[in-house]
Chain A
Amino acid sequence: MSNLAILFKSLFSSDNQSDRVVPPSGFTARLTVFASGAMAFLTVFALALSLASGRLASRWGDELAHSSTLRISAPAEQMAEQVQTALRVLDTTPGVALARALTADEQKALLAPWFGPDLPIDSLPVPQLIEIVETEEGYDGAGLRLRLQAEVPGAVLDDHTRWRKPLEQAAGRLRLLGWVAIALIAATTAAIITLAANAALAANAQVIQVLRLVGAQDGYIARAFVRRFTLRALSGAAAGMVLGLGAVLLLPPAQDAGGFLTGLGFTGAGWLVPFVIPPLAALVAFLATRTAANRVLSELP
């Protein structure tokens, strides 16, 4: 039988009597409930951190994929020539996949939000915009600026999205750290529950001996302990998760201006992710207790 099947069976079979053969132990019970509760609470925050930094990384990543722009301000009679020169420079710049002057209609559309739709753009000294799409490797910004300076005096290269690259990396790291934290929390939970299970098994050596004398198989004895610890971890983690979600709800809501700090939380279906914490905690407790029980039972005479 697979671990999950045993877990399911041991959790939901109404074998009350098998629970009672092991005396209730207040201390290890409280330790297990508290530890899984605290760990679930922490896991909610680690998850929130991971998911939020993941969202941030992909948002910034998307923006990076957009083009940078070259803005040319020149007297009207030089404009066409400067644009031609700039396009020629860009065509020969390694790392530029595409360079394209925006049409008058496109520029109008960009300005419409500020000046309304009826802007006589041709009669205004509006800079001409050139859209640049980079290749994977990107171009050398400083080098391009130097060349443009020499050949197209009115050009300003706006590659403001570039400063976001290290931020995108940082967000990626943060997300990774979140997952590492979750793994560490799971490992710590397993360690604490193993200790508690060992303490319970040691305290009940006499009980185990009696059970064996009346013909109990190791699997039966192990199940009595495993079921308990699994249920405790499940209930503790459920409580910790609810508290953690409550605490996340109380954080200030995400705002565009606040950026990262106020964006720490869950969005949409993300709110459902924390609900896997209690079953996972139960699984961790199940595996930890079963390992501990099997080891102790094989060592007892």
Chain B
Amino acid sequence: MIELENLGFSYGEGEMLSDISLKLAPGSFHFLTGPSGSGKTTFLKLCYGALQPTAGHARLFDQDVRHMSRDDMAMTRRRIGVVHQDCQFLDHLPIADNVALPLTVSGRDSLEEVANLKELLDWVGLGKRASAYPPELSGGERQRAALARAVIMSPDVVLADEPTGNVDWDMSQRLLQLLIELNRMGKTIMIATHDLNLIRTAKSQVQARVLRIAGRRLQLAGADL
């Protein structure tokens, strides 16, 4: 589904990612770690086509990112749910509409889907905050809403960038359980995080691989994690 081949990337001055090859198998669970500024967010952006590799290839669902039209890209985005580090909401719409946005833009905002929306908001514990606007939500609430939006299209892949960055331990456990549940439903999951405890908890429940960005390369982290 997501396939990187000898991928390199640079924002302009000097490569920040080099020679990265990775194939995300369907149903797999990955963590992505690395120091702040090492390029985790950049890497995820390459995985959902928001950035194009400056060397090598990125293929999403067997299509080379470089040869995809903007409409192709839009269709691909509907199959990849992303929890953005900075959430990326429309501040003029209530949180329920923001969560439903992927349905809206793909013309799937039918009654049935709206019923699912209610269920989904309850699932992330935002049932009572549905009509609040994004700026009125706490950091943790926003991240839960972002997760809800990422999965509402029931995508094949979920990429989560620091989904537990702003929440306490209990809440991060809850969010992790949501993602593990999705994985058990067959979704492919990749979570970028600094939180080693989170990774340890996850590894006790699912088979997760831990990738680390170090020195511009992607490595498989050791068994210590």
How far is B102's CA from A21's CA once the two chains are assembled, in angstroms?
A: 11
How far is B49's CA from A213's CA once the two chains are assembled, in angstroms?
A: 10
Which of these, A214, A297, A298, contacts B105 with CB under 8 Å?
A214
Measured between beta carbons, the chain A residues less than 8 angstroms from B153 are 215
CB-based contact A23/B90 at 8 Å: yes
Segment of B26-34, B74-82, B174-182, B183-191 in the binding face = B74-82
How far is B102's CA from A212's CA once the two chains are assembled, in angstroms?
A: 10
- Using a CB-CB cutoff of 8 Å, which residues 21-67 of chain A contact chain B? 21, 23-24
For residue A202, CB closer than 8 A to chain B, the reply is: no
Which of these, A207, A218, A219, A220, contacts B90 with CB under 8 Å?
A207
CB-based contact B89/A210 at 8 Å: yes
How far is B93's CA from A210's CA once the two chains are assembled, in angstroms?
A: 12
For residue A17, CB closer than 8 A to chain B, the reply is: yes
How far is B212's CA from A95's CA once the two chains are assembled, in angstroms?
A: 101
Residue of A nearest to B76 (CB): A215
Return B189 CB to nearest CB of chain A, in Å: 19
Return A299 CB to nearest CB of chain B, in Å: 11
How far is B104's CA from A67's CA once the two chains are assembled, in angstroms?
A: 73
For residue B88, CB closer than 8 A to chain A, the reply is: yes
Return A219 CB to nearest CB of chain B, in Å: 8
How far is B109's CA from A20's CA once the two chains are assembled, in angstroms?
A: 13
CB-based contact B102/A214 at 8 Å: yes
For residue B166, CB closer than 8 A to chain A, the reply is: no
For residue B149, CB closer than 8 A to chain A, the reply is: yes
Which of these, B84, B105, B149, contacts A21 with CB under 8 Å?
B105
Q: Which residues of B contact A (CB under 8 A)?
A: 50, 70-71, 73-75, 77-78, 82, 84, 88-90, 92-93, 97, 101-102, 104-106, 109, 149, 153
Between-chain CB contacts (< 8 Å), 18 pairs: A17-B97, A18-B104, A20-B93, A207-B90, A210-B88, A210-B89, A210-B101, A211-B105, A212-B74, A213-B50, A214-B77, A214-B105, A215-B102, A217-B105, A218-B70, A218-B71, A218-B74, A297-B70
